[in-house]
């Protein structure tokens, strides 16, 4: 944890905030901070700075925040990925948020197991946990949006064309003849990544019809979670 994040509604009328639970234990036992020490903090979807520790009592830490810095710049990227195994999905969400992606779509595909959509690992509380962990690691405050779409055809036909409008749409396909650009244009980009084994021919056709163009990352065929990091890194 490189920054401690909190919600604006956690602030009291005297502009203090009480930290409890695991985060309080981290401040006390891991960081070994005490009264009058400072810790880097940020308000979710707000500014960053530091907070002064006013008191520590019964595993409760009372902070007085001073925030005057804007959060680190985000990447102008939307990520669309077929829902992988839930444990891998959790890692993908974390990695994408860590690298600065602010909109993540989890979509369906013929190769996505129906049971994946019922997993508690992609429920809202677990997703929020991964997002906050990523922001606290990367010293960011802006919460990404994770949007789940479990109907492939309606998403491709009704929503994807609008997502791709005025954007560069990159459909990762290891069998494409187009090499992924080494220096992508500075324009909003949409990365579309299929499941392990790739989208079906029908799905690729629908994605291309919506406005995406197929590209390959390299000669090696990568797992989804590796492809996500490799593709996003092209924009950093």
The tens digit of pLDDT for each residue in 26-52 reads: 999 999 999 999 999 999 999 999 999
Fold of 4-69: Ribosomal Protein L25; Chain P (2.40.240)
Look up the pTM and report it. 0.92
- Residue 219 pLDDT class (50, 70, 90 cuts): confident
Q: How confident is the model at residue 101 (pLDDT cuts 50, 70, 90)?
A: very high
Check if 4-69 and 77-235 are the same fold: no
9 vs 110, which has greater pLDDT? Answer: 110
The pLDDT of residue 8: 83
d(CA 131, CA 125): 10
Quick one: pLDDT at residue 211? 96
Domain boundaries defined on the chain: 4-69, 77-235
Distances (CA, A) of 129 to 132, 191, 218: 5, 23, 33
What are residue 168's DSSP bridge partners? Answer: 189
Residue 9: pLDDT above 90? no
d(Cα 164, Cα 188) in Å, to the nearest integer? 9
Selected from 1.10.3720.10, 3.40.630.190, 3.40.1280.10, 3.40.640.10, the CATH number assigned to the domain covering 77-235 reads 3.40.1280.10
Mean per-residue pLDDT for 7-13? 82
Residue 218 has pLDDT above 90, yes or no: no
Query: How does the average pLDDT of the chain come out, rounded?
Result: 94
Confidence of residue 220 (pLDDT cuts 50, 70, 90): confident
């Amino acid at each position: 944890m490189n920054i401690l994040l909190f919600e604006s509604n956690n602030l009291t009328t005297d502009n203090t905030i009480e930290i409890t639970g695991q985060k309080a234990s981290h401040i006390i036992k891991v960081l070994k901070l005490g009264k009058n020490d400072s810790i880097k903090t940020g308000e979710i979807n707000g500014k960053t700075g530091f907070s002064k520790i006013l008191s520590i009592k019964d595993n409760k830490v009372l902070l007085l925040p001073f925030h005057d810095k804007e959060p680190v710049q985000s990447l102008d990227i939307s990520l669309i990925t077929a829902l992988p195994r839930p444990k891998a999905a959790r890692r993908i969400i974390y990695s994408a948020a860590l690298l600065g992606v602010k909109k993540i779509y989890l979509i369906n595909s013929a190769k996505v197991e129906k049971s994946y959509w019922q997993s508690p690992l992609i429920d809202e509380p677990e997703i929020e946990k991964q997002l906050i962990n990523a922001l606290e690691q990367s010293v960011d405050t802006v919460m990404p949006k994770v949007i789940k779409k479990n109907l492939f055809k309606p998403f491709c036909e009704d929503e994807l064309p609008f997502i791709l409008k005025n954007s560069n749409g990159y459909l990762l396909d290891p069998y494409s003849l187009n090499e992924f650009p080494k220096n992508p244009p500075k324009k909003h980009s949409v990365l579309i990544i299929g499941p392990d084994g790739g989208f079906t021919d029908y799905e690729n056709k629908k994605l291309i019809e919506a406005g995406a163009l197929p590209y390959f990352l390299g000669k090696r065929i990568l797992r989804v979670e590796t492809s996500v990091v490799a593709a996003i890194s092209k924009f950093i």
